[in-house]
Chains A and B, each alone.
Chain A
Amino acid sequence: MSQSELNNRLVEFVYHENRLLDDRQFEQWYDLFADDGIYWIPTQPGQTDRHMQASIALEDKMLLKLRIARLSHPQAHSLQPRVSSMHVVQRPEVDAREAGGGLPGLTSNIVYLEHQGRDQIVLGARVRYMLRETEGQLRIVEKKVELLNMDGFLPSIQLFI
């Protein structure tokens, strides 16, 4: 595979990943994560420490599964009325210098909208992906969501950015 073919494949993966979230295909989205994959939203610009610094979210596959399972629980009060999301995704940049898991890193700016009832929140974020290829499939080793206002006072964010 040429470099540009690989890059295209990585970029398409990011679009696909975001589309699954907006289409509420949460189980399929979950399967995109490697077994040791992490979904991370830090609180500080430039934060590299996951464990000794506060994070807004730091989820392994167990916690991701818990969040997804709750989405269909009949007594998940906060999800009534239904909450839906939209990810407006900038074309991801492929950055070989941030390589992790043998593949180049990807970065994309997104606008995240979350809607419920009469309310809508809008958040901006820079999202960084570390991917790995396992048995021919791309898998997420880390999805790091750097919110523009990560150190500000945030409202409830109920779905996945």
Chain B
Amino acid sequence: MKSYRTDAEAVAGLVSNGQIHRDAYISEEIFQLEQERVFARSWLYVGHESQVPEVGDYITLDLAGSPVIMIRHSDGSVRVLINRCAHKGASIVSRPQGNAGRMLRCPYHAWCYKTDGALLAVSLKAGYKDTGFEASAAAEGLSVPGGVETYRGFVFARLSRQGMAFREYFGETLGALDNMADRSPEGELQAAGSCIRSVIRCNWKMYLENINDTVHPISTHESAADTARHVGEEFLKTNPTALEQLLPFGASYDFYTKMGARTLPNGHSILGTKFSIHTDYSDIPGYQESLEQAHGKERAREILAFSPQNVVFYPSLATKGSPQILRVLRPLAANLTQLEVWAFQPKGAPGIMLERGLTYSRLVFSPMSVVSHDDVHLFESQQVSLAAAGNPWVNLQRQFDPAELEVGDCRFEDGNNELVMRNQYRAWHALLMQPAGAQA
């Protein structure tokens, strides 16, 4: 059996002319290499600063195999710390969220840390005199990721010390986060009190590809769109929000041909630069006026005109500016992916905006969503059937043009062009081809 870790040629052969070899999705060895070479060196979404408003507030999560704490430090900044005591490795905190006060104390031997991870105190301190402790790794306190950045309230981390700087990595994709934050007259978002969580027995890349797949809804979601249309006729006025969110799942192939798309370096993309299924949501009385007052008429118009289907911040995050939703992917294994869906309230805007985001999250992304059921069914079937005898390739060649290989930042009309997916694999492959160094 070939080993991808030691065989660069085998890794090189995983992506070929718009085709992806099945091992990219089903091999556990590739998954391990991805963790080291792709996830550790990419900027991953951690959380939103509104989840930790007060000093000492924290949340815990798993970031590509590393348990981390996102905490509000005493200087007001948001820090990300590895949840591993410098002494013997116990978890410092075990709750999903809480408040640590001004210091973190390990429950095992009571070592204490400041909220930026610096070592504050060890028990039986005298016992460390003249032991060389000051020069030890433990004396450095809690480990921190190689990089942490907060952008418009969104907190990202890069686990490895190697890798690109934050702004270089995301480039103009960050404009989509500006757009989301500026949908608030105050320029700030508030995360909902909780999210919707699901676990899918598929590779994370299938989910991320599908976020840019405009060709699937008409066949995959036929049952949801059909029944929404029928039931909608009977209940015309009962639940207009749900109907205006579900009915566009019946949009035709043609709808997506002129929506506009943009692929950016490092796997990021904007699908629906001109319009999307979210464009025609009904106006909220007084909202546009409040945005004009806060940001000026021109900027307000610009903010509301940008309503893409999905923006991908490769490889962990996808956003919908309207209705203010994030999807966060946390891969656990080659065949297992966790998903979190967060809705946001733009501060100072009508409360109906959060309600719309929560409704969309539930109708389209919840474990009980009749839309998501058909997606998940198909992803899980892919995961099983890709291992089948015969053809080992996934095909992403729709509208392939060799000229696209020369352009890092591509703008085009047709959302059905699978370049929005090929671009993800080019970034993935480039990282996977570089073994992690000793400094990882």
Contact residues of A with B, CB < 8 Å? 41, 43-44, 47, 51-58, 60-63, 65-67, 69-70, 73, 75-79, 151-158
In the complex, what residue of chain B is closest to A35 when comparing beta carbons?
B238
CB neighbours of B194 from chain A (8 A): 43-44, 47, 53-54, 151
In the complex, what residue of chain A is closest to B219 when comparing beta carbons?
A75
Q: CA of A62 to CA of B222 in the docked complex: distance in angstroms?
A: 18
CB neighbours of B359 from chain A (8 A): 58
B378:A58 contact, CB within 8 angstroms: no
CB neighbours of B96 from chain A (8 A): 151
**Within residues 312 to 360 of chain B, which ones have a CB less than 8 A from any CB in chain A?**
338-339, 341, 343, 351, 354-355, 358-359
Q: B420 an interface residue at 8 Å Cβ cutoff?
A: no
A77:B378 contact, CB within 8 angstroms: yes
In the complex, what residue of chain A is closest to B373 when comparing beta carbons?
A78
CB neighbours of B195 from chain A (8 A): 43, 54
> Contacts A62-B235, A77-B374, A158-B373: A55 and B193 contacting too (C-beta < 8 A)?
no
In the complex, what residue of chain B is closest to A65 when comparing beta carbons?
B231
A54:B199 contact, CB within 8 angstroms: no
Nearest Cβ on chain B to A58's Cβ, whole angstroms:
6
CB neighbours of A60 from chain B (8 A): 238-239
Task: Classify chain B's interface size.
Answer: 35 or more
Interface of B is mostly: helix
Q: B228 an interface residue at 8 Å Cβ cutoff?
A: yes
> Contacts A153-B199, A155-B199: A55 and B367 contacting too (C-beta < 8 A)?
no
Nearest Cβ on chain B to A143's Cβ, whole angstroms:
14
**Within residues 371 to 396 of chain B, which ones have a CB less than 8 A from any CB in chain A?**
372-374, 376-378
CB neighbours of A44 from chain B (8 A): 193-194
A76:B199 contact, CB within 8 angstroms: no
B367:A157 contact, CB within 8 angstroms: yes
A77:B377 contact, CB within 8 angstroms: yes
A57:B231 contact, CB within 8 angstroms: no
In the complex, what residue of chain A is closest to B361 when comparing beta carbons?
A54
B234:A65 contact, CB within 8 angstroms: yes
Nearest Cβ on chain A to B403's Cβ, whole angstroms:
37
Q: CA of A156 to CA of B227 in the docked complex: distance in angstroms?
A: 19
In the complex, what residue of chain A is closest to B341 when comparing beta carbons?
A54
A53:B358 contact, CB within 8 angstroms: yes
Choice from B226, B242, B368 contacting A41 with Cβ under 8 Å: B368
CB neighbours of A152 from chain B (8 A): 197
Q: B429 an interface residue at 8 Å Cβ cutoff?
A: no
B223:A70 contact, CB within 8 angstroms: yes
Nearest Cβ on chain A to B362's Cβ, whole angstroms:
6
Q: B288 an interface residue at 8 Å Cβ cutoff?
A: no
A63:B239 contact, CB within 8 angstroms: yes
CB neighbours of B100 from chain A (8 A): none
> Contacts A54-B343, A57-B368, A153-B197: A69 and B238 contacting too (C-beta < 8 A)?
no
A157:B368 contact, CB within 8 angstroms: yes
> Contacts A69-B230, A76-B223: A55 and B370 contacting too (C-beta < 8 A)?
no
Q: B293 an interface residue at 8 Å Cβ cutoff?
A: no
Inter-chain contact count A-B, CB under 8 Å? Answer: 125
Contact residues of B with A, CB < 8 Å? 96, 192-201, 219-220, 222-224, 226-228, 230-232, 234-235, 238-239, 242, 246, 338-339, 341, 343, 351, 354-355, 358-359, 361-363, 366-368, 370, 372-374, 376-378
CB neighbours of B378 from chain A (8 A): 77
Q: CA of A114 to CA of B370 in the docked complex: distance in angstroms?
A: 16
Q: CA of A151 to CA of B54 in the docked complex: distance in angstroms?
A: 23
Q: CA of A60 to CA of B242 in the docked complex: distance in angstroms?
A: 10
> Contacts A54-B196, A76-B223, A152-B197: A70 and B370 contacting too (C-beta < 8 A)?
yes
B197:A154 contact, CB within 8 angstroms: yes
CB neighbours of A155 from chain B (8 A): 198-201, 367
Choice from A47, A66, A67, A156 contacting B367 with Cβ under 8 Å: A156
Q: CA of A156 to CA of B200 in the docked complex: distance in angstroms?
A: 8
In the complex, what residue of chain A is closest to B224 when comparing beta carbons?
A70
B227:A66 contact, CB within 8 angstroms: yes
In the complex, what residue of chain B is closest to A152 when comparing beta carbons?
B197
Q: CA of A75 to CA of B378 in the docked complex: distance in angstroms?
A: 13
A78:B376 contact, CB within 8 angstroms: yes
In the complex, what residue of chain A is closest to B201 when comparing beta carbons?
A155
In the complex, what residue of chain B is closest to A67 when comparing beta carbons?
B370
B239:A62 contact, CB within 8 angstroms: yes
B231:A154 contact, CB within 8 angstroms: no
From B194, B235, B239, B242, name the one whose CB has the most chain A CB atoms within 10 angstroms.
B194
B370:A156 contact, CB within 8 angstroms: no
In the complex, what residue of chain B is closest to A42 when comparing beta carbons?
B194
Q: When A and B form their complex, which 10 residue pairs have the shortest distance between CB atoms, in order from nearest?
A: A78-B377, A73-B223, A76-B223, A62-B235, A78-B373, A153-B199, A154-B367, A69-B227, A75-B222, A153-B197
A56:B368 contact, CB within 8 angstroms: yes
Q: CA of A53 to CA of B367 in the docked complex: distance in angstroms?
A: 16
Q: CA of A130 to CA of B107 in the docked complex: distance in angstroms?
A: 43
16 extra interface residue pairs, beta carbon distance < 8 Å, beyond A54-B341, A62-B231, A79-B373: A41-B368, A51-B358, A52-B355, A53-B358, A55-B362, A60-B239, A62-B235, A63-B242, A66-B231, A70-B224, A77-B374, A78-B376, A153-B339, A155-B199, A156-B372, A158-B368
